[in-house]
Amino acid sequence: MYLVLAGVNVAVYLLSLTSIHLTRYLSLNPLLVVKQGMYWQVCTYMFVHGSAGHLISNMIGLIFFGSAVERKMGSYEFLLFYLVCGTLSGVLSLAVYLLTSTYYVFLMGASGAIFAILLAYAILYPSSIIYLWAVIPIPAPLLVTGYAVLETYNLLAGSRSGIAHGTHLSGFLMCWLYFVIRFGINPLSVWRRR
């Protein structure tokens, strides 16, 4: 299923190169959602990417971590997990944009769902070692914690990079809630036992 999701992301990116209107139609924009009723954008935003680099970095995460997560979850559960976490990250991002009067943003990218997959990997494979930059060995739970701290810092520091740090954190939050609610698994308990 992770390869199907990667294929959909690539297909949407290639189609979006032919039409700026498709990107506008599928990306999450608060004004279009509220004023024009484009509610599907809370889901479709995660299949749109602004550049080849953006797409490639997300697809590397999807393929590398998604394959392992899908093996443990099964294909149906993995698809449900991906869509639920990605969509709820979009809903939470939309709520934050509306509350902060940030109306002119166009949110795009699979990062919310990918960050959910990264956390799921650390929960399902708590003893796994990930090699940062293919050199530095870091336990998966520690890497996820580091990412969470870095994303929180960038969010609070008001980073103007165009990166949706809040959506990344939303992906972590939605994954955490998914494991607690659907599976009755507290990630902290898993990490303490490893």
Query: CATH code at 23?
Result: 1.20.1540.10
Tell me the three state secondary structure of residue 194. coil
H helix count then E strand count, the chain: 10, 2
Task: Give the residue carrying structure tokens 């991002």.
Answer: 93
pLDDT value of residue 57: 93
Q: Token digits for 165?
A: 């740090």
pLDDT value of residue 146: 87
**Residue 82 belongs to what domain range?**
2-193
What does the pLDDT average to over 162-169?
Answer: 80
Counting every residue, how long is the chain?
194
Q: What is the mean pLDDT of the chain?
A: 92
Orientation angle between helical segments 165-178 and 111-124, nearest 10 degrees: 40
Tell me: pLDDT of 1 over 90: yes
pLDDT value of residue 39: 97
Label residue 71 left, alpha or beta by phi (over 0 means left) and psi (-120 to 50 means alpha): alpha
Q: Token digits for 148?
A: 């969470």
- Which band of pLDDT confidence, cut at 50, 70 and 90, is reported for residue 9? very high
- Biggest CA-to-CA distance, the chain: 51
Instruction: Name the residue among 120, 116, 147, 142 with its Cα closest to residue 130.
Output: 142
Q: How many CB atoms lie within 10 A of CB 87?
A: 19
pLDDT value of residue 160: 63
Q: How many CA atoms lie within 13 A of 45 on its CB side?
A: 31
Structural domain total, the chain = 1
Q: Is the dihedral of CA 21, 100, 89, 87 positive or negative?
A: negative
Query: pLDDT tens digit string along 38-87?
Result: 999 999 999 999 999 999 999 999 999 999 999 999 999 999 999 999 99
Query: pLDDT tens digit string along 96-116?
Result: 999 988 889 999 999 999 999
Give the predicted TM-score (pTM) of the model. 0.92
Interatomic CA distance for residues 113 and 131, integer angstroms: 21
